[in-house]
């Protein structure tokens, strides 16, 4: 029984990976059909297709796991063009952006600033770039011009933007003391506050994004996330992986949202560096309070009132059934199975070739 319980991630993994060729084929057909149409038509349906797939993702990560979503702060009901800045601690972090976006009917508009290595993901590495994702290199190898050109093209095309950035650049893990020490030393050398529960944020991607999009944005969402469940006696531990999360090792996610008007964000890079670090100081203080407050009433919660936000299964189950049904139908015929396998093989190879040429 215990072994079966520990394998709960298998069903989601099989469905999410197994439907990948079906999804990419549907997108590829639309890409070809829309080649001679105005770009806005392609973008509108691409966003809709992306919404379908990510709704299936949320079926497993919310409805299947039964995780409790506790929202604090200010999450507008209506969709906006935003930059989403959050602390980074788990491979589940990108799904938290989906969790908020679907509650604003903006799920199809989510686009990510991703580390460059992810562009080699089978099928999806190429697709994320097509959907508006931006791959960036770290530190000195960061190409400001490349990111700026891509963002400007999206702005010029009127592409709806829910742009997700994790300014820390790498995941925070309290058990990786060398990474934390290096981050704290970096802050101290530059006269910045030393942070305990987050890493020192990097400014380049955030500054380029804001500079390109400032006349297009509605706001910045400053998001702070805690995964509750793995902490030992109040001591913070490594956040759950996707596999652990799908095995229901995280009963609650606490999400604090500060909506910041764009006029309150400094434009000059050095001033923005200070501003961004101050935002992470606020995060750090909230996390210290969450984990270490001497008052039991203030531990394991963020300041202010929380709302238990439950996602209706009506928003996610249809997508899961549609994509699973199409995939099962394809696999029932010999021609369909051949198309399925060829999509995995040649789709991956063509995607890798495309990202190599673009690089």
How far is residue 216's CA from residue 157's CA, in Å, rounded to a whole number?
A: 11
Mapping DSSP to helix (H, G, I), strand (E, B) and coil, where does residue 225 land? Answer: strand
In this prediction, residue 95 carries a pLDDT of: 96
Which pLDDT does position 233 carry in this prediction?
57
How does DSSP classify residue 296? T
**Residue 181: partners with Cβ closer than 8 Å, 6 or more residues away:** none
Return averaged pLDDT per consecutive 10 residues of the chain, 359 residues in all: 68 93 94 89 93 96 96 91 96 96 96 90 90 82 85 92 94 91 92 94 94 94 91 75 91 96 94 96 95 87 93 96 96 96 93 82
Enumerate the domain spans of the chain. 1-358
The backbone region for 132, taken as left when phi is positive above 0, alpha when psi lies in -120 to 50, beta otherwise, is left
């Amino acid at each position: 029984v215990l072994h079966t319980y520990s394998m709960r991630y298998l069903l989601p993994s099989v469905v999410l990976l197994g439907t990948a060729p079906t999804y990419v084929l549907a997108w590829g057909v639309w890409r070809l059909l829309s080649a001679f149409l105005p770009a806005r038509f392609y973008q509108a349906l691409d966003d809709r297709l992306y919404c379908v797939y990510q709704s299936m993702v949320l079926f497993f990560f919310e409805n299947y796991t039964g995780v409790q979503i506790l929202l604090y702060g200010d999450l507008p009901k209506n969709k906006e063009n935003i930059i989403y800045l959050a602390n980074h601690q788990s491979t589940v972090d990108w799904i938290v952006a989906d969790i908020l976006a679907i509650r604003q009917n903006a799920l199809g508009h989510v686009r990510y600033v991703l580390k460059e290595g992810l562009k080699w993901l089978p099928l999806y590495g190429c697709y994320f770039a097509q959907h508006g994702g931006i791959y960036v290199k770290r530190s000195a190898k960061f190409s400001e011009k490349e990111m700026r050109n891509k963002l400007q093209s999206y702005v010029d095309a009127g592409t709806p933007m829910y742009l997700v950035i994790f300014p820390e650049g790498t995941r925070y893990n309290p058990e990786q003391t060398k990474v934390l020490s290096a981050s704290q030393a970096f802050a101290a050398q530059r006269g910045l506050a030393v942070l305990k529960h987050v890493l020192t944020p990097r400014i380049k991607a955030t500054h380029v994004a804001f500079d390109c999009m400032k006349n297009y944005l509605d706001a910045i969402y400053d998001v702070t996330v805690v995964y509750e469940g793995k902490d030992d006696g109040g001591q913070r531990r490594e956040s759950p992986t996707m596999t652990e999360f799908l095995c229901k090792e995280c009963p609650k996610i606490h999400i604090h949202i500060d909506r910041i008007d764009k006029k309150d964000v400094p434009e000059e890079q050095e001033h923005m560096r200070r501003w961004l670090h101050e935002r992470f100081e606020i995060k750090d203080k909230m996390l210290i309070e969450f984990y270490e407050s001497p008052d039991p009433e203030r531990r394991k919660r963020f300041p202010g009132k929380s709302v238990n936000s439950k996602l209706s299964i009506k928003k996610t189950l249809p997508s899961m059934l549609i994509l699973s049904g199409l995939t099962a139908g394809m696999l029932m015929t010999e021609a369909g199975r051949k198309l399925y396998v060829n999509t995995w093989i040649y789709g991956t190879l063509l995607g890798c070739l495309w990202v190599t040429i673009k690089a």
